Structure 1
């Protein structure tokens, strides 16, 4: 997201949740920051008001000359220190070009406050009227577009939100013993600086009891007060009552510790619940299990292990269990994660039995598959390698298969592929995955491994709507957890990443931002591309023996070269090798960057996929290298591309090529 500040010619971008970044105006940290790539400054939201004051003509220390706001630091020909306080100035400062002197922001603020006519009875510092406050957040409603700002304490508020100051003292149901006083300069240092009810930072504006050292933020006090009593909760038969105080406890619903404001049941010897756990659903669907799970307190004696995180469950606390599978249970907090639960409460709703069978059986040898309009007949004759299964795009070989009863139709399926479920639950999505046949007119990328797929069956989160639709290929959607991989001694679990939580793949060294498989205890992670690589492959053109996936060695020394592209291989990352001949090959050179590739098919309209098996290899129009992969792309103008990466890059399809692996013959060092 980029935007412009008034009076600043370059656009700035917002960086969220970076508390550790130091502001170039105030030296303090207020969370979200704005950054200018041209001027190299970083400024907090609460300091953006400085851009409303581009020039000052009447500063008492420098009357008569103009002090102008600079965002690139003090000019080189001037003293870098502030003319008044002697401190070294930062990138945001005020400068007089005539006298070549500099003033830092702190020394300017006193003057700004002194000349402000806005002295409100509800705030102890003078305020300034902000003309361009779209990028600053109100301390009451947390929405942008403020009207008033206090330069000293960075208090900000809309004019429409000033009504809160009509009640400088309130009696609140969460603290009935004493009235609460309104503060606009943050919580006092002698208290717990967070809200005593929700645990969030109180910010500048809060209600406070100085006798009890009790703090209440605006959300809990005015906007969305926490209920004092919960009469009809799903997981407990009695009314629960809020205990609005700082108190350490262990939640009976999830077994985790808490430090403030639990709900308690007086009738049940003061059973305690986190506020969130008190409102847990009773019956839900989760993407790690095929059946519904329901909340149970307690699980009962036994050795229980969570079906999501695979950690031990303390059976004396609440958890979710399956009535059909007697040994299946999930931690309460694991079951209700947003990437596990579809957010639907099913208590009182009849469970619908869905038909997930992919075909209708007509007789012992004939079926009608939902992806094809003709009947399919069962056969077991060995076929040549060039005949590929429509679902997995692998040779039929000697496996039993179904082929189309129409002589003019080449539709053919392995028997095992014909039985792939039409709909299933999988940890990659909190909602059902629906099986469909890849449409050759639309290029799709698997959201798990981030590779383009050409043909075959795919799973989609929603085949009827484009809203947040996601696609997963058959290989990625077949992974189960715990996942065992030869590169690591322990089992690996699925990790949904995001919000700055990224992992580096041990296989390729590339940073993954969305999905990963990993062992948190060992800090070992794989992206889905590396996790699903075939352990052995055959490339008769380069070696008569099977090639084995080698997991690299961080202590490896020396050099090794790929027999296909003749570029150096990084021995610390994964590669394919022949144990008999010593042949070594890049991963990319073996598997390429298009999954389920099929000769003669089109990737996009007019772009054909062709085998790279001739003696003269075509030249890629993008990277100007010879096409070295097992396939290449050619459009209707006979223009060739060595990979989908080069095709997407040349056609400015940044959404695709920014997520694809670069061929080793295009970039150095090679991957």
Structure 2
């Protein structure tokens, strides 16, 4: 059985009675199990049967004056950013989402389709009585989270009002970033001198309730924990602390293991301390064997991580192919908080775009088969808690559904490193900048600097001779008093190595 879908006119969608992949539905962003429709040409275009059959038009009590039209917000992402910002926010739940929505273009009114399907009455885990939906635009303060909103669920017996998203909060849930289940807990019961910090977005938790693990003092905002990329949908009855700890231990072992599919040792020798040293290897990224080398050619980059090569390293002089020892030992499968799924090591000579740092890269990468996303190895090798020379406090990975501005380059990203003490933010692009690097035939190395080299008030780049912003990071050769823009030293595409 086939049908033509309004959101995918290029190809027909084919019915599948029992989809078992668990890939996300293009309409509601939830995993698909059971009846579904998909495109045989575009494998990532998958829908629940119910999402495909949504009505194109809708009369809804939240906006009685005009009919609402079903549309796909993701079509605005690349075409019209202004329209996306306007229509991605739901007038009912107040959140932004990529899921299908119903909108009225005349009134700039938008409602996520899941919000449009909310029941008139519900039972919820966070309140003892039945709650009734009020569809009039009634401003109120949620008695659960303490934030303002509209269109509440009300309890007539208790004079209790709550957001629809707060009403959906389960008493317990599991997030990918933590090993134990989190429990719905009043903020007052979390004994801290200051407001607790959400470990998912690294911002203060200023709501009446939060998700909390008392065993590890791990706190999270209600909505951060319920975001699709944070919430791990598993059977909590089967989860035991011991099993979870064992699983984490297995992951650690996996990451440290030497995989013969990735790197096979051809020849070895004994070092001074009687340990075996691999002097020749066969690495999956190159067709020839690579030999251990100590002499570094000028301005050579590693073909794996595309950073300046360090001795000793493996090389193929015939092809000018070089690989750090550490890059040769990267695990085939790795987990990282950036992605909820296992990532697989690949090599790509052509360029790809890294999801984390938004830079063009090539060389070794980690790939998520489920999300079809590429990550540079530099980004994946960063831990979720980072100590960086640019800042006095420890920085923590912050994943949000809103963009945060980097304190170094002012770019805005969803995934950043954030300081829990102050408002300092660092994106992946700046976090992965090399601390020292070389430039063309310059005889000395350049060091990354975070503050101006002097108090002259006049700052210029010695390469392009243009003025420098003293608030921006730059590279500096102290031997020659030679300052330069980051891009002038590294180039416009520093994570791409051009092949001979």
| Category of TM-score, reference length = shorter chain | 0.5 to 0.7
Q: Within 5 A, what are the aligned runs for 1:127-526?
A: 142-143=115-116, 194=142, 201=149, 203=151, 209=156, 212-213=158-159, 276-281=169-174, 286-287=176-177, 293-295=179-181, 319=213, 330-331=218-219, 338-340=228-230, 342-345=232-235, 348=238, 357=257, 359-360=259-260, 361=264, 364=268, 365=278, 367-372=281-286, 376=289, 378-382=291-295, 384-385=297-298, 389-394=302-307, 398-401=311-314, 412-440=322-350, 443-453=351-361, 455-462=362-369, 468-499=371-402, 501-503=403-405, 505-508=406-409, 510-526=410-426
1:61-81 deviations in Å (ceiling 9; x for gaps): xxxxxxxxxxxxxxxxxxxxx
Change (3 A) 1:308 1:32: closer
| Cα deviation digits, residues 325-367 of structure 1 (max 9, x gap) | xxx7744768776544554458648969676545325564455
- Encode CA deviations 1:537-568: one digit per residue, 9 max, x unaligned: 23364x43332322135996632221111111
Question: Does the CA contact (< 8 Å) of 2:303 and 2:497 recur in 1?
Answer: no
Query: Which runs of structure 2 are paired with 1:55-94 in the superposition (5 Å)?
Result: none
Would the alpha carbon gap of residues 208 and 435 (structure 1) be closer, same or farther in structure 2, given more than 3 Å must change?
Answer: closer
Which of 477, 484, 487 matches 1:578?
477
Question: In 2, Cα distance between the equivalents of 1:178 and 1:523?
Answer: 41
So what's the TM-score if we normalise by structure 2? Answer: 0.56
Kindly state the Cα deviation for residue 494 of structure 1 after the two structures are TM-superposed: 1.6
Q: Distance in 1 between matches of 2:349 and 2:372?
A: 15
The alpha carbon displacement at 1:596 in A equals: 3.6
Contact residue 122 and residue 132 of structure 2 kept, 8 A: no
Moved more, 562-571 or 489-498: 489-498
Bigger strand share:
2
Rounded Cα–Cα distance in structure 2 between residues aligned with 1:544 and 1:138: 61
For residues 128 and 305 of structure 2, the distance between their equivalents in structure 1, rounded to whole angstroms, comes to 69
Query: How far has the Cα of 1:569 moved from its partner?
Result: 1.2
Q: Is the 8 A contact 1:195 1:201 kept in 2?
A: no
How far did residue 529 of structure 1 move?
Answer: 2.0
- Post-superposition shift, 1:472? 2.1
**Cα 1:347–1:320, aligned 2, differ >3 Å: closer, same or farther?**
farther
Task: Report the alpha carbon displacement of residue 572 of structure 1 after superposing the two structures with TM.
Answer: 2.4
Counterpart CA distance in 1 for 2:123 and 2:428 is 52
- 3-state SS of 2:475 partner: strand
Report the Cα offset of residue 418 of structure 1: 1.0
- Relative to 1, partners in 2 of residues 1:320 and 1:561: Cα closer, same or farther, differing over 3 Å? same
Instruction: Answer yes or no: is the 8 Å Cα contact 1:308–1:335 preserved in 2.
Output: yes
Q: What is the deviation of 1:423?
A: 1.9
Give distance in 2, aligned partners of 1:432 and 1:485: 27
Distance 1:141 1:306 in 2: 26
Counterpart CA distance in 1 for 2:146 and 2:158 is 17
Taking a change above 3 Å as real, the CA distance of residues 424 and 215 of structure 1, as seen in their structure-2 partners, is: closer
- In the other structure, the counterpart of 1:539 is 439
Q: Secondary structure at the match of 1:417?
A: helix
More contact order relative to length (CA 8 Å, sep ≥ 6): 2
CA distance in 2, matches of 1:18, 1:171: 24
| Aligned residue pair count | 373
TM-score (normalizing by structure 1):
0.44
Tell me the CA shift for residue 457 of structure 1.
Answer: 0.9
How far did 1:425 drift?
Answer: 1.8
Residues 554 and 473 of structure 1, relative CA distance in 2, 3 Å threshold: same
RMSD of aligned Cα (Å): 5.5
2:188 corresponds in structure 1 to none
Going from structure 1 to structure 2, the CA distance change for 1:213 and 1:331 (only over 3 Å counts) comes to: closer
Contact 2:436 2:448 in 1 (8 A): yes
Structure 2: give runs of 5+ residues left out of the alignment. 1-65, 68-79, 96-102, 184-191, 205-210, 269-277
User: Aligned in 2, Cα 1:429/1:564: closer, same or farther, shift over 3 Å?
Assistant: same
